[in-house]
Amino acid sequence: MPHLPHPLDPGGSAARPRWRLGASLALLALVALLTACTTGSNPTTPSPDPTPGGDEPPVGADAVYFVHGSGLGDATEQVVALFHTDDGVIDPTRPVEDAAVTLNGAVLAYDAARQRYVGSLPAALDPGAEVQLTIEVGEQRIEASGRVPQVATFTAPAPYTNFAVGDLVELAWDLEEDPDRYVVFLRYPFSAPPHEVTDGAARSTVLPEALVGSLPHDGTPVSYQLVAHVNGTFRGPAHPASSLGLATRTAADRYFSVGEAPPEVRYFVEGAKMGPRHQAVRVLMATDGVPDRSEPVLGLTGMVNGRALTYDAERGLYRVELPEALAAGDRLDLYFEGPLGAVHGVGRLPDQPRITAPTMGAELPAQSPVVVRWESPSDPAAFRVTIEGGPSPIESELLPGDARSYTFPAAALGIGDLVVRLEAIAHGSFSGPVAVGSTMGIHHEASNDVRFRRTVVIPDPPLP
């Protein structure tokens, strides 16, 4: 059946050729006019001038009317256009102004400024809901009915799929009931020409090569939506191109891209033992997630909890000391600005753990591993254990937040007096141009350090 685009998809295909040329041209013109008078924001291409069929349209029992709904049921405001026709030609310059129009019992009144019948429903109708439209013009009566289509669910491509230049881009979806047609909309961030699928039984479509060729080929994310359309069924003197314009669309939360993306440059943030009072942060540049450790980012301006950061050139850190020490659970706010934009980091000082083993002053044989145990009121993001006093400090890897012990191999530790230290660590969260893996590195040291001694035990010589 010939059809007109719904206001959700301006620029859709013109009616299929079933009438003489004048009727087709008039229908194309009406597409543009209807779109211009609705709230759709996408541009439409110019259409030819309308071609009325005569000086005055037929009236009375011989009249035939063109009916076009604008997204009926999918919003509280309901809009219906009603125009005269003459010998199959729709005349958008001759609206019907004296009809009685109701939609699901709600009266739609004629708005002369918009040349539309406008009213409202108590709430938008759910997918699958019935829509009943009644129009009375003099002694003539038009009845139309339909159901709001279900919302399709995309099954392909996978979210954020990247296509090589020249690849076919196929979209696939699931839908329980067949609508009359579909329209695919692309945005990147500007709208591309819509792509119409005229077969309501279709569950996939390959985007035209020309359409894909018009998209950016630099990896720019392109969002895509599918609009399902239902024309409805008409009884009475309605033009064959009449439509209720029932439509639903998928959410604009799926993306694909074409071509290789340029390198992504972001900040890589490393909190260097941000803690109760002393704050230190290192900021590096990261390209495609890989930080450049050859030099830190200079020239940043920022603060922690409202106190300005200053740059320590010797250590390559941004530092500040808070006026008072924070307690467990207190919030740390990191903010800085640079050429890539602003970054905001938020985290809280984790609860303070306590070392329970080894005990203070313990003597342990050098031949045995050292098991460090602790307790903590809660699970932070991670723990780290350090033993100092040998040739160099020995650190554990980052341990999970539910860990409560760690074993150092005997061969990794020195001999003599050693000290065990423990830290609970929170990573915080970021907004802004920050690379994956960044951390605020909020540390809370254990309430106790434990000093112990490792000695070499020489066994007694065997008896003669």
Architecture of domain 354-455: Sandwich (2.60)
Does domain 265-348 fall under CATH 2.40.230? My reply is no
Query: Beta strands 161-163 and 341-348: pairing type?
Result: unpaired
Instruction: Output the tens digit of pLDDT for each of the chain's 464 residues.
Output: 333 333 333 333 333 333 333 444 344 344 444 544 443 333 333 333 343 434 555 655 678 999 999 877 767 789 999 999 998 999 999 999 999 999 999 999 999 999 999 999 988 899 999 999 999 999 999 999 999 999 999 999 998 899 999 999 999 999 999 999 999 999 987 889 999 999 999 999 999 999 999 999 988 889 999 999 999 999 999 999 999 999 999 988 889 999 987 788 999 999 988 999 999 999 999 999 999 999 999 999 999 999 999 999 999 999 999 999 999 999 999 999 998 999 999 999 999 999 999 999 999 999 999 999 999 999 999 999 999 998 889 999 999 999 999 999 999 999 999 999 999 999 999 999 999 999 999 999 999 999 999 998 777 677 77
Task: Write down the pLDDT at residue 7.
Answer: 35
Task: Write down the pLDDT at residue 40.
Answer: 38
Task: Write down the pLDDT at residue 453.
Answer: 96
Does domain 21-258 fall under CATH 2.40.50.140? My reply is no
Distance CA 369, CA 358 (A): 11
pTM score, two decimals? 0.52
Cβ–Cβ under 8 Å, residues 195 and 208:
yes
Cβ–Cβ under 8 Å, residues 343 and 301:
no
For 50-87, letters b (16+ CB in 10 Å) and e give: bbbbeeebeeeeebbbbbbbbbbbbeeebbbbbbbbbe
Preceding peptide of 179 cis, ω within 30°: no
Task: Write down the pLDDT at residue 31.
Answer: 43
Residue in 47, 35, 30 with CA at minimum distance from that of residue 8: 35
Task: Write down the pLDDT at residue 55.
Answer: 52
Domain chopping of the chain, boundaries: 21-258, 265-348, 354-455
